[in-house]
Amino acid sequence: MLRAIILGIVQGVTEFLPISSSAHLSIVPRLLGYAAPTLAFEVLLHFGTLAAVAAYFARDLWAFLLCLVAPGRLGPEETRTRRRLLGLLALASVPAAVVGFLLQDWADQQTARPLRASVWLVLTTVIMIAAELYDRARRSRGGPEGGEAAPAGVWTAGDARSGGRLGSPSGGPGGAGSGSGVRGEGGAGDVRGAGRMHGGGGPVSAERELDRLPVAKATGIGLGQALALVPGTSRSGITISVGLFEGVSREAAARFSFLLSIPAILGAGILKLDDLTGATETPAQLVAGTLAAAISGFLAVSFLIRLLRTRTLWPFIWYRLVAGGLFVLLLSTVRS
């Protein structure tokens, strides 16, 4: 039972933090002397993380449903906004679906070897380093903080702690002056926050930034997600990095990444449903692991989005380099 809970926590935390779930789920059991999780157990752990991200973005998912089946509940402007974002998510999901179909067997072979997964964990960190250095250089040249400039008076309803928000035009309940959805100090030096200045002098929320995300940038983030199939890359790490290269804020890129993960995890899980009959774990262990993945995953999503309003990816970069190096060293001396 303890093994199931520990592996569930490992999956939930590393699925959303930019440190790679595939690498850790391969490495940690080997280091702790646990039997490698069966494919059926891994599928259920992924469904646990799917439940976590779906719960966090429940309001967004509900708004997506309403914009399709009951647009009158949202109003014409919000319906257009939600349908546009839904279209961007669908478009950005295509690369990962294609690459996953073509290379899933290769990726499974890589993650089946903990030492190789450790090496990939270190090597793929180069992408995150390059993205942070690029963002720093761009800001030192006086480039934008990320995202598109929004017109004055635009606001998004909902507080900073909620996963999903139904955006409203200025003049909606609460008014633009209420400050809902606005984060960060907005100063030029606040490089890590969500604040991007708009014409009214205040920062644009990450939700509003996603509402205005250009098609080309959404497609680029989708292409980045396709690279997450490489073990050790991390879905959130690669998509946030691509966002930085494109001038998208870390928080907005993370939100888009997590929304993208919903169809990706669901699709991968559906394709592997036949493997559920091969579990060697007991039903109680399967349930415990899935719940542990769901709870820890929800906390990880909330933590990362909060963190990226004011911080960079460097803490995770250093973790990946140090932990990856230690994993390589330890696994090189471990005997089967």
For 228, list phi and psi in degrees, rounded to 5.
-65, -10
CA distances from 303 to 56, 151, 161, 271 (A): 11, 30, 10, 30
Which candidate, 286, 33, 306, 16, places its Cα nearest to that of 162? 306
User: Residue 102 has which token pair?
Assistant: 């073509």
| Sign for the pseudo-dihedral over CA of 157, 175, 145, 187 | negative
User: Is the Cβ–Cβ distance between 326 and 119 less than 8 Å?
Assistant: no
> Are the C-beta atoms of 33 and 246 separated by less than 8 Å?
no
Q: What is the pLDDT along the chain (336 residues), one digit of tens a residue?
A: 899 999 999 999 999 999 988 888 888 888 888 888 888 888 899 999 999 999 999 999 999 999 999 988 988 999 999 999 999 999 999 998 888 777 777 777 766 778 888 888 899 999 999 999 999 998 888 755 544 433 333 333 333 334 444 443 333 333 333 333 333 333 333 343 444 444 444 456 888 888 889 999 999 999 998 888 887 888 899 999 999 999 999 999 999 999 999 998 888 777 777 767 767 778 888 899 999 999 999 999 999 999 998 899 999 999 999 999 998 988 887 654
Q: How far apart are CA 242 and CA 254, in angstroms?
A: 11
DSSP class of residue 171 equals: T
The pLDDT value recorded for residue 91 is 94
Taking the C-alpha atoms of residue 329 and residue 308, their distance in angstroms, rounded to an integer, is 31
pLDDT of amino acid 201: 41
**What does the pLDDT read at residue 278?**
67
Residues in the chain: 336
pLDDT for 287: 92
> Quick one: how far is CA 322 from the chain centroid?
22
pLDDT at 171: 37
Three-class DSSP category at 174: coil
CA distance 17 to 161: 18
pLDDT of 267: 82
Residue 299 exposed, middle or buried by CB count within 10 Å (0-12, 13-18, 19+): middle
Distance, CA of 15 to CA of 46 (rounded, Å): 8
Contact assessment for residue 232 and residue 20, using Cβ atoms and an 8 Å cutoff: yes
Domain limits, the chain = 2-146+216-333
The token duo for 125 is 């960190």
Q: Residue 35, class by beta-carbon neighbours within 10 Å (0-12 exposed, 13-18 middle, 19+ buried)?
A: exposed
Question: What is the pLDDT at residue 290?
Answer: 94
